[in-house]
Amino acid sequence: PIDFDYTLAQFHSGLTAAELGITELVAQGTSSYAGSSRPRIENILQAMSRFNGLIIRPGEEFSFNQYVGDISPEEGYVPGRVIFGGRTIEGVGGGVCQVSTTAFRAAFAAGFPITTRYAHGYRVGYYEQMGEGPGMDAAIYVPGPEEPDFLELDFRFVNDTDYHLLIETSVFPGTSTMQFRFYSTNPGRQVVKDGPLIRDVVPPLATRYEANGDLQLGQQLQVDVAAEGSYVQVTRLILDEFGNEITRQDFRSQYQPWGAIVQVAPGDPRLAQTG
């Protein structure tokens, strides 16, 4: 005999959105990936597809890592630039953090309690476009089986309303933007962003040069840009329909200073500057 595990459908086919409380657009989060490489864009498209059409029940905690799944070549992800071990390296899934960052912005705007959020190690230019400024990013990392000692970084929030939440995602190649849209019912709250507050600014590190055997003398390829180090705080105020403060949540980010990284041909005298 063969044993089966049966999983009942969460919703029956005749159920309407209105019955679930999915009646209006309550928030959206947008970010720009302008200037991204083709592999980075491929990873963004792959990850965004995992979230389109998700329904989060009342009281349920959303976990980004649960839905993004295994970030591996077998799941359609390709090598790209990722932040790992205090620097940017080539790794599978570069660009997925742009998806978690965009989801974070939607959850922020919707007023959902955010239970887990990690800032990136340094300020990333992609995440400060479109007038967002620093402090509105959310880093994720899913360790593989061969990395038992590495910390998992997740992004999580709770649907604290009495209504179901429908998530829709879109990528707009014409404007190099991506978007999470949250549909539910607003329980009567307003969301106000205060900040960013930026302090303890540290100048960027010196430019580093790396050898790239595919380049000829005189050629160069910049693979990282310089960024200041700083402490950044963004505060979210939740107000009721009359403008009275219900709660507030601070999102703190400690960004390390970062130097530009430029790849040059082997034998380039600038390699000596890096050591």
The tens digit of pLDDT for each residue in 123-169 reads 888 888 888 889 999 999 877 666 556 678 999 999 999 999 999 99
Q: Which residues pair with 235 in a beta bridge?
A: 194, 250
**Cβ atoms of residues 213 and 267 within 8 Å:** no
DSSP type of residue 32: E
With a pLDDT cut of 90, the percent of the chain lying above it is 53
Higher pLDDT, 265 or 85: 265
How far apart (Å, rounded) are the C-alpha atoms in residues 191 and 160?
15
Q: Hunting for tokens 């050591």 — which residue is that?
A: 275
For residue 35, give both structure tokens. Answer: 């200037």
How far apart (Å, rounded) are the C-alpha atoms in residues 89 and 74?
20
pLDDT in tens, 8-39: 445 555 667 777 889 999 999 999 998 888 88
Q: Which residues contact 100 (CB under 8 A, 6 or more apart)?
A: 64, 68, 138, 139, 140, 155
Q: Which residues contact 55 (CB under 8 A, 6 or more apart)?
A: 10, 11, 20, 22, 164, 165, 166, 167
How far apart (Å, rounded) are the C-alpha atoms in residues 105 and 27?
9
pLDDT for position 155: 97
For residue 34, give both structure tokens. Answer: 């302008």
State which H helix or E strand residue 44 sits in.
helix 38-49
pLDDT at 62 over 90: yes
Which has the closest alpha carbon to 28: 116, 125, 130? 130
